[in-house]
Structure formats: C-alpha cells, structure tokens
A and B are shown apart, each in its own frame.
Chain A
C-alpha cells in the first residue's frame, strides 16, 4: 500500500495536449474516482499511473518514489481492464496466478493465493474453466481476482462495469465497494457514469478537456460544484441552468427578483430542489409537458415562458397531467449562481432582491 502523487503532470501527443496541470495526491487506502465525459483524458491519466502510457511532463510518485520511467511490471500496481483482458488460452486459475508464474513462484505456492481470491469472489467452481466458458459477470470477477492475487500497492479500474448489463453492474459495484472495505488498498477508478462515481468514491476527480475541474467528496461536488460543468455533470437528473437577464435579474411572479449579484450570468437549480405548487402560488408559473412516473419519484419536464425548459423531480406520485399549468417554488438555500466563465459564485448570493 502506498500513496500516489501526481505533480503538474502533462500528456501530449505531438503538439496536442490531452492532459495538463494535473495535480493530485491520492492518500494511502483512498478510493478515488476519475470521472468525466468521453475524451476528457481520464483513461489516459489512469494509463499513465499504470505505466502503459509515457508521461510527457511533471512527476508521478508512488510512496514518495519517482516512478515516471519505471515500467509497469515494476510499479506493483494491478489493473482491471474494461475488456477484462483475460488470457483466453489459460484456465481461470492460471489466469489468476499468471503474475506469480511470471515471477517464477512454484506451482504449490501459487495455489494458496489463487484459492483464497477465488473463494472471496465466488469463483471456486470455475477454476478450471476457460474464459470463453464464463459469463460477463464471471469474467469480470476473474479480472478482479487476477488483481487481488497480486496484493498490489494500488488497484486501477478502467471502466470495469461498462460491458455489463444494468442489474449486474449494480451487483458488481457493491462488490467493488466491499472489496475496498476489506482490503483497504488504494484504488483509482475511471468511469463516465456519475452514479458509479458518487456511490464508490471517497473523493471524486472531475475531468473535462484534459483539466481537473474539481476534486472533492461526492457530497461536496453535489452541494458546492466549483463550476457549471461540475454542477451539470454531477447529479441525476442534470441540474437546470437558466440564463439570468443582465438587467435586473430573474423576475418572479411575486415581483421579487433574483439578481445577478457579483457578475452572475447563470442560475442553477437541481430538479429535486424545485417544488410543485398550484398555478399562481409559486415563484414562477410553468406548463408541464412530459411526466415520467418512476413510482418512487416523478420527473416533470416543464416549460417556463421566457425561461425555457425546467426539469422537476418530485418525491412519490404527483397529481398532474401533461399540458397543465402549475407553479414552482425554488429552494432558496440550494440555488447556484455562475459567472460569465462558468465559475460558481461564493458565498451563495442568490437571495431574491426586492424590486
């Protein structure tokens, strides 16, 4: 076990910069999730930590030791690939024990760790099967088993669940969380799925266009997103963002205004922080267009005159039909203001101004 540290790390292909100014310290035993849209450089960053991709600039350290030019095999890091990357010509037990085979451990010594890992992952009945005879979830487990057997300093996961169906994904997510609790080893996990990020991470690193947007715990990111990108990336359904008229701010039905204090240009509000009330009694009046009833929640896609679409998420069922008009109340405490560049304005100065 060890801490991983990236100092001012950069990656470029020819003249194209894919990652720059990456400063990140991952503590010993921490579970860090790198999240971002496709092409943001999150997988490249993970591959640089693994040693599969050379680092163009900056320093990468494991446990305080410079690792920039150390080949993957000497970094003592295990990786679980998106494609699982099981060796198709080896049975499950040999797949899992391959790292020891390469290090010339005798077969008798390899057996113990492999059996233990197989027991942990429920793979004991499959040890002599070949990968092609396994289901997707079992292959995923073997890939994890191969990593566990190594007892490495850190685990890397590159979108490990994206090839599984929805139900299995939830199951494996839980399994990974349990694994981290039991092993307490540093884990770095790449995903584009913000639900995976929110549920698994001690800390989330949000990346976009090769830059770190924000680093924080899941709730920090949810409650205090550093900018519009993070605000809209984290949270499901996505945060509503309205443009604030530059003159006088957003006019409410009561006559009050939400002003663009401190250069605010955009107003963000999460769908779950909007409340449906009868028409005429809310901050603004909207028309319900599409209603999705999920049982536990209801998503109401509304359209506000002059303001554009607003999504509302209400608890339980809501007695509302499409085409009906209703009022919306903003949760004043949970509004977010963003400036011209998209940065969040703090402290939250979105209290309505009488006008």
Chain B
C-alpha cells in the first residue's frame, strides 16, 4: 500500500522540475522587462544578455513619469478599459441571461450572427470602421475606442456569461418565484449573487483585452491627448533609435492596473459558489 501512496522520489523531483521549468519559461519575459527597465541606458548594450545588470537605476521610471506624456496615456487607458469592461459586462450579462433562459424567435440567427462577427480578421474591417468613426466625428476621442471595443467584445463575453448562467440550475429561479419573487427579483436576489464569479471573469477578460489593444487605438487616435497606453509605448520608438529603458519602465507601470484589477476580482473568480445548490 505504501508504494502506491508514495510515488518514487525521482518522479516527485521530476514533477517539480517540470513545473519550475514552465514557470521560468512563462515568467522570463517579465523578468527581462524588469531587468531592462532597471538597467541604466548606457549599459543596455554592454550588458547584453547577462542575466543580472551590472548597475541599477530608477532613472527610466523617473523620466517616464515626469518627462513624458505617459501619465496621460495611462489615464486614457484606465478610462477606456474600465468603461469598456463595465459596458460590455452589463450588456453581455443581459444577453447571456436571455440566451440561457428564454426561448425566442430568431435566437439561432442572433447566435449565428454573433459567431460570424468573430470570424473576420480585424485587419479586414479596420478601414470600414475608420470610415464609420470618421463619419460620426468621433476620431481622436476616447468614445470611439470605448464603443468599438465594446462592440467587438460583446459576442465572446455574451457566450461566456451564457455558459455561467447555464451552470446555475433553473430550479433556483423557479424556487425563488414560488417563494414570491418576480422574475427580476429572482435574478437580482438569487441568480446575480451566484454569477459574481462569472461576472468577475468577464470583467477581467474584457478589461485586459481593452487595456492591451493596439490596432484600433493606433488607427482611430492620432492626437496625444487621446492616446492610450499601448499607442503611447510606440512613442518611445523614434526614427533613429529605440528608447528601450523608458519603454520597459512604461511597460512595468502598465502592469500595475491589470494586477490591481485581478487582485480585486480574484476572490470572486475562485469561489465555487454554486456548490450545494442542488444534489451534490
């Protein structure tokens, strides 16, 4: 029995080695980002591929924060990402609930249409989108990005939310309605609290998608005061040189909101709230 419950030590070591290798592989680019950000500009090329910089400096961070428009980009990105995440999640939750619970005419067509929108490469539609946005006079505004991002994220977010609603037994709503709820009350008091993990996942997904989006931001915004952070990063690339140190420092700063956001929603993400609802 002991031999079954305790695997061979070599296997254990092998397992941890494999995990360690994967973690190192996944995190190495992140480490490199930090390393370059902290290396003084003069040493970037002389240090080359040495794993540890020969000197450390916070100069890059200082100049990014105080000597560039980075804070503006940052603010724009936060506004765009939060608005997109909120608007998309709200619409996707409503649509996902409808898809999950109601039978209505044309449901299959709507689903098919939403799937269809996911099949085009973005490059194909970027010109028409530009035309439309220009025609309604929204070029160079954060609104254009919020609207476009929301539109593009809704289909996937809807399917995501639908699968979360599908995971909540219909019996719960019916029990609530027998207990005296209207359908809306049942949704608010019983279903919504149970969908929080799903809502958090959707918010997180849409937030990161909007936060790191480059293509539309690049096309629709050309003025500094409406630039988002990924476009702003490109300003560190000039015609004759790339300011690696400042670019990486900006990249490190850009990680902060994403990390904070996930820290905030992770307690909803990990909960398996529906367990114990029905037979288990």
Q: Is the CB of B273 within 8 A of A89?
A: yes
Q: Is the CB of B279 within 8 A of A73?
A: no
* A50 to B177 alpha-carbon distance, docked (Å): 10
Does residue B181 face the partner (Cβ distance < 8 Å to A)? Answer: yes
Q: Which of A128-158 contact B (CB under 8 A)?
A: 130-134, 136, 139, 146, 150
Q: Is the CB of B175 within 8 A of A79?
A: yes
> Taking CB as reference atom, which chain A residue is nearest B277?
A88
Q: Which residues of chain B come closer than 8 Å to A84, judged between CB atoms?
A: 278-279
**Stretch of B79-87, B107-115, B166-174, B208-216 on the interface side:** B166-174
Q: Which residues of chain A come closer than 8 Å to B44, judged between CB atoms?
A: none
Q: Is the CB of B176 within 8 A of A98?
A: yes
A19-60 interface code vs B (CB 8 A; 1 in, 0 out): 000000000000000000000000000000010100000000
Q: Known contacts A85-B278, A88-B273; decide if A72 and B194 are in contact (CB<8 Å).
A: no
Q: Known contacts A86-B277, A88-B274, A132-B275; decide if A102 and B179 are in contact (CB<8 Å).
A: yes
> Taking CB as reference atom, which chain B residue is nearest A89?
B193
* A82 to B169 alpha-carbon distance, docked (Å): 12
Q: Is the CB of B171 within 8 A of A85?
A: yes
Does residue B182 face the partner (Cβ distance < 8 Å to A)? Answer: yes
> Taking CB as reference atom, which chain A residue is nearest B174?
A52
Q: Is the CB of B280 within 8 A of A132?
A: yes
Does residue A83 face the partner (Cβ distance < 8 Å to B)? Answer: yes
Does residue B10 face the partner (Cβ distance < 8 Å to A)? Answer: no
Q: Which residues of chain A come closer than 8 Å to B275, judged between CB atoms?
A: 88, 132
Q: Is the CB of B181 within 8 A of A81?
A: no
Does residue B276 face the partner (Cβ distance < 8 Å to A)? Answer: yes
Q: Which residues of chain B come closer than 8 Å to A98, judged between CB atoms?
A: 176, 179
Q: Which of B250-280 contact A (CB under 8 A)?
A: 273-280
Place the interface of chain B in its size category: 20 to 34
Q: Which residues of chain A come closer than 8 Å to B169, judged between CB atoms?
A: 83, 85
CB < 8 Å: which of A77, A88, A136 contacts B279?
A136
Q: Which residues of chain A come closer than 8 Å to B7, judged between CB atoms?
A: none
Does residue A78 face the partner (Cβ distance < 8 Å to B)? Answer: yes
* A146 to B180 alpha-carbon distance, docked (Å): 12
> Taking CB as reference atom, which chain A residue is nearest B168?
A88
Does residue A240 face the partner (Cβ distance < 8 Å to B)? Answer: no
> Taking CB as reference atom, which chain A residue is nearest B177?
A72
Q: Is the CB of B276 within 8 A of A85?
A: no
Does residue A330 face the partner (Cβ distance < 8 Å to B)? Answer: no
Q: Is the CB of A87 within 8 A of B178?
A: no
Q: Which has the most chain A C-beta neighbours within 10 Å: B171, B178, B182, B280? A: B178
Q: Which residues of chain B come closer than 8 Å to A99, judged between CB atoms?
A: 179-180
Q: Which residues of chain B come closer than 8 Å to A71, judged between CB atoms?
A: 177, 182
* A87 to B274 alpha-carbon distance, docked (Å): 9
Q: Which residues of chain A come closer than 8 Å to B190, judged between CB atoms?
A: 87, 89
Does residue A66 face the partner (Cβ distance < 8 Å to B)? Answer: no
Q: Is the CB of B176 within 8 A of A87?
A: yes
Does residue A306 face the partner (Cβ distance < 8 Å to B)? Answer: no
Q: Is the CB of A83 within 8 A of B278?
A: yes
Does residue A15 face the partner (Cβ distance < 8 Å to B)? Answer: no
* A63 to B274 alpha-carbon distance, docked (Å): 38
Does residue A182 face the partner (Cβ distance < 8 Å to B)? Answer: no
Q: Which of A145-190 contact B (CB under 8 A)?
A: 146, 150, 163
Q: Which of A206-265 contact B (CB under 8 A)?
A: none
Q: Which residues of chain A come closer than 8 Å to B185, judged between CB atoms?
A: 102
Q: Is the CB of B179 within 8 A of A134?
A: no
Q: Is the CB of B181 within 8 A of A79?
A: no
* A83 to B169 alpha-carbon distance, docked (Å): 9
Q: Which has the most chain A C-beta neighbours within 10 Å: B172, B189, B193, B277? A: B277
Q: Is the CB of B273 within 8 A of A73?
A: no
> Taking CB as reference atom, which chain B residue is nearest A130?
B276
Q: Output the least CB separation between A51 and chain B (Å).
A: 8
Q: Is the CB of A131 within 8 A of B180?
A: no
Q: Which residues of chain B come closer than 8 Å to A131, judged between CB atoms?
A: 276-277
Q: Output the least CB separation between B78 and chain A (Å).
A: 31
Q: Which residues of chain A come closer than 8 Å to B181, judged between CB atoms?
A: 73, 102
Q: Is the CB of B194 within 8 A of A89?
A: yes
Q: Which has the most chain A C-beta neighbours within 10 Å: B179, B185, B189, B275? A: B179
Q: Which residues of chain B come closer than 8 Å to A73, judged between CB atoms?
A: 177-182
B108-149 interface code vs A (CB 8 A; 1 in, 0 out): 000000000000000000000000000000000000000000
* A98 to B176 alpha-carbon distance, docked (Å): 8
- The 4 nearest A-B residue pairs measured at CB: A132-B276, A83-B278, A85-B171, A85-B175
Give residues in A with beta carbon < 8 Å to B. Answer: 50, 52, 71-73, 77-79, 81-89, 98-99, 102-103, 130-134, 136, 139, 146, 150, 163
List 30 contacting pairs A-B, 8 Å CB cutoff, sorted by A.
A50-B178, A52-B174, A71-B182, A73-B177, A73-B180, A77-B178, A79-B174, A83-B171, A83-B278, A85-B169, A85-B171, A85-B172, A85-B278, A86-B277, A86-B278, A87-B175, A88-B194, A88-B273, A89-B194, A89-B273, A98-B179, A102-B181, A102-B185, A130-B276, A131-B277, A132-B275, A139-B279, A146-B175, A150-B179, A163-B279
Given contacts A87-B175, A88-B194, 4 further A-B contacts (CB under 8 A): A88-B274, A99-B179, A133-B276, A139-B279
